Structure 1
Amino acid sequence: MVERHLPKPRELAPLLQFKKPELSAKRRRLEGALTIADLRAIAKRRTPKAAFDYTDGAAEGEVSLARARQAFQDIEFHPSILRDVSQVDTSREVLGGRVALPFGIAPTGFARMMQTEGERAGAAAAGAAGIPFCLSTMGTTSIEDVQAANPGGRNWFQLYMWKDRDRSMALVERAVKSGFDTLLVTVDVPVAGARLRDKRNGMSIPPALTPGTVVNAIPRPAWWVNFLTTEPLAFASLDRWSGTVGELIDTMFDPTVDFEDLSWIKAQWPGKLVVKGVQNVADAKRLADLGVDGIVLSNHGGRQLDRAPIPFHLLPDVVREVGNDLEVHLDTGIMSGADIVAAVALGAHFTLIGRAYLYGLMAGGREGVDRTIEILSAEIIRTMQLLGVSTLDELEPAHVTQLVRLEPRPR
């Protein structure tokens, strides 16, 4: 028989300590988000379909994006035990400067369409966290305003080469004057990928009102109030444009850009130069010979060539060939801090997040971006501790096995 008694007040007291209620609905939402997937779910509820799909979608059948994410799931970690992991250092030197975490915010277009604070929120959050922020040529906040939002942090500028070279280099000169320390030249967009969600949604800049968009807006009044009561949405670095994103790319961007053009850009840029969109070992070696400071293994988040190579699968081979000659960075498919740890273990010097940042932005503006960084930082630290490492340099290929799902057929 179990002996029972009435509880005494001193025994009840520890059980009656209630958490102080959070009066801010936004903070309650963000505190309840424990993963990037949680932030994505909030973002989807709060953002009109065309804007959300622009972030969430990819090219054609979206096979590249699905494979990139699957590749991170198809790993096995190999932890070591009985290591002192009471203190974990997640910082390292990246392109000549110290960063607090092994990831930065990737260049993403149209951020103010996702949420009205846009690139300012991303830049300010990155500065506060001690990580770089990269502004896109297709950004909706000017180079100068990004610098003002992140005056003491590291700002990078991403360049698409246009057919009008003078206009391209005018942007580069503005970035130099504003103290941007790194130029990312994106090379995987000779023409626009077929982003079918955008075509089906009629996604244009600025967004066009149709009966469908009005109906979709009814449960999302906050987005529309912000959109209609703030400065008109436009490219901060370009002239105004009325048309689809794909039409803009095909009208403006130059499919003739080659390695000689890259050398020409390198000669004019005084800071670090990184080439984004590398998808094979041969190109990585040629860029190393050219003397660039870094490359980003990327298939543009699956938004260009569908069924493109999986950057995470390319990583070990590229690091083996050029890892001593330049920094190898990685993006595409990253949705957790564990993904970032796996990439670093296999040789990535640094990583970039795009969709994860925009999900946070859509979920809660600047506070949502802060929450994205908090989630990823906590996951990185916890994964490192469970692996038995206390610094990024201790991570090595022996900590990760890439499990095989897709194998090439013999030729």
Structure 2
Amino acid sequence: MNPVSVTDYRQLAKKRLPHFLFEYIDGGSYAETTLGRNMADLERVALRQRVLTDVSSLDLSVELFGQSLSMPVALAPIGLAGMNARRGEVQAARAAAVAGVPFCLSTVSACSLDEVARSTAKPFWFQLYMIRDRAFMRDLLGSARRLGCSALVLTADMPVPGSRYRDYRSGLAGAPGLRGNLRRVAQSVCRPGWAWDVGINGRPHQLGNVAPILGNNSGMDDFFAWMRDNFDPGVTWKDIDFVRGEWGGPLIVKGILDPEDARSAVAEGVDGIVVSNHGGRQLDGVLSSVKALPPIVDAVGDKATVLVDGGVRSGLDVVRMLALGAQGVLLGRAWAYALGARGEAGVTHMLKIIAAEIAVAMALTGCRNIEAIDRDILAELGQDINSRL
């Protein structure tokens, strides 16, 4: 298959990755209602097609958090992404650098901050979970600062992990010990290309940033146990002061779905927020990101940069999010599928597809630059944007 869309990359990833890894990328929590809403509600956003405007020259570039980008997208943090291809986060970071967009490394990545920093000359973002052990967090933030990370993304919507039933059914979680290992090995053997490239030659298989804590306990069972026992459910807005004190650079809070929380983030002086429901992987039944976006944009105004993720599968979706007020869009599953399918080359190609789709959507809505994409290009606005979604 010659991929021409993110959907094509999803199908290729499904054929190449072991079942438990694909289900981890593809799935959501509980009945996956919000996962479905993210895409369905985004597809309902209708745009105004405009004709006979001069769109011979288009400018997709933007500036976010002091960084010039080729287009208003970034690669979102994804846990365990390094298992989708050999040293996967390194490959994705390289692809993002070539494309001129940010890559955000997850706290629970396979590749460490040091490994990614050694592999790319471009600065990247770092995503942080609030951990009970503040000394560990202090060391982690110190490493991110020392290695030149250009922005910090604090994930706020995961005080406890969501219930992701696909992970139990696939054998990724819920089957500890030998039984679970055997299920995963059996699935890996059915994907010989992955087994050779990642399973054998992609070692070490560990969480690079938390390896000093896990030590030799670096299996899947240890990973889920560590998350359950070490994520801090007692975190509050007051902890922003701790993070800010240890960081100092641009601070973005991810996981905002309510305007009141957006106002609280602004009151704490954060530089940006990400409107996000964790890709439908935390609390099922909540609003889609696209439906939550407009009232949050209105609540924040120009006091913080508003980013968004959730359900974005094309450059057209990026334009829809921008029209509703986002200043940038995080791509999650889109790059995870491409990485799983074809490694760095897949991510590079996927970003070219996204850029081309953004350009077409801009041309057909009469927008010569990103600043021109606003609510005026929405076909159905009305008094209440949400009533039209």
TM range (shorter): over 0.9
User: For the residues of structure 1 that align with 2:367 and 2:105, how far apart are their CA atoms?
Assistant: 33
1:229 paired with 2:201, answer yes
TM-score by length of 2: 0.92
1:367 counterpart residue number? 345
1:117/1:366 contact within 8 Å kept = no
1:84 paired with 2:54, answer yes
1:188/1:304 contact within 8 Å kept = yes
Instruction: Give a deviation string over 1:99-120, Cα, whole Å, max 9, x none.
Output: 1111000000111211213100
Q: Structure 2: which amino acid aligns with 1:220?
A: R
Q: Give the alignment partner of residue 101 of structure 2, picking from 131, 134, 137.
A: 131
Question: How many residues are paired up?
Answer: 377
2:172/2:184 contact within 8 Å kept = no
Report 1:3-82 matches (<5 A).
29=1, 32-82=2-52
Q: Structure 2: which amino acid aligns with 1:85?
A: V
TM-score by length of 1: 0.87
Is the partner of 1:258 in helix, strand or coil? coil
- What is the CA-CA distance between 1:181 and the residue it aligns to? 1.2
Report 1:211-290 matches (<5 A).
212-226=183-197, 227-239=199-211, 240=214, 241-242=218-219, 243=221, 246-290=224-268
Q: Structure 2: which amino acid aligns with 1:237?
A: N
- Superposition RMSD in Å: 2.2
Q: Structure 2: which amino acid aligns with 1:169?
A: R
2:169 counterpart residue number? 200
1:352 counterpart residue number? 330
User: For the residues of structure 2 that align with 1:214 and 1:94, how far apart are their CA atoms?
Assistant: 43
1:182/1:274 contact within 8 Å kept = yes
Q: Give the alignment partner of residue 139 of structure 2, picking from 160, 166, 170.
A: 170
2:294/2:385 contact within 8 Å kept = no
User: For the residues of structure 1 that align with 2:97 and 2:310, how far apart are their CA atoms?
Assistant: 22
Report 1:260-409 matches (<5 A).
260-401=238-379
Q: Which deviates the most, 73-82 or 126-135?
A: 73-82
- What is the CA-CA distance between 1:263 and the residue it aligns to? 1.9
2:128 counterpart residue number? 159
Instruction: Give a deviation string over 1:349-383, Cα, whole Å, max 9, x none.
Output: 10101100010001101101111101111101111
- What is the CA-CA distance between 1:130 and the residue it aligns to? 0.6
Is the partner of 1:296 in helix, strand or coil? strand
1:102 paired with 2:72, answer yes
2:148 counterpart residue number? 179
Change (3 A) 1:206 1:83: farther
2:87/2:111 contact within 8 Å kept = no
| Structure 2 unaligned blocks of 5 or more | none
Quick check: which has more Rg, 1 or 2? 1
User: For the residues of structure 2 that align with 1:208 and 1:349, how far apart are their CA atoms?
Assistant: 46
User: For the residues of structure 2 that align with 1:41 and 1:76, how far apart are their CA atoms?
Assistant: 27
User: For the residues of structure 1 that align with 2:96 and 2:136, how far apart are their CA atoms?
Assistant: 28
- What is the CA-CA distance between 1:217 and the residue it aligns to? 3.7
User: For the residues of structure 1 that align with 2:332 and 2:138, how far apart are their CA atoms?
Assistant: 25
User: For the residues of structure 1 that align with 2:179 and 2:150, how far apart are their CA atoms?
Assistant: 36
Instruction: Give a deviation string over 1:193-250, Cα, whole Å, max 9, x none.
Output: 0011111222159997755445534542110012113322100011343316543321
User: For the residues of structure 2 that align with 1:253 and 1:211, how far apart are their CA atoms?
Assistant: 28
1:17 counterpart residue number? none
Q: What percent of counterpart residues are identical?
A: 35
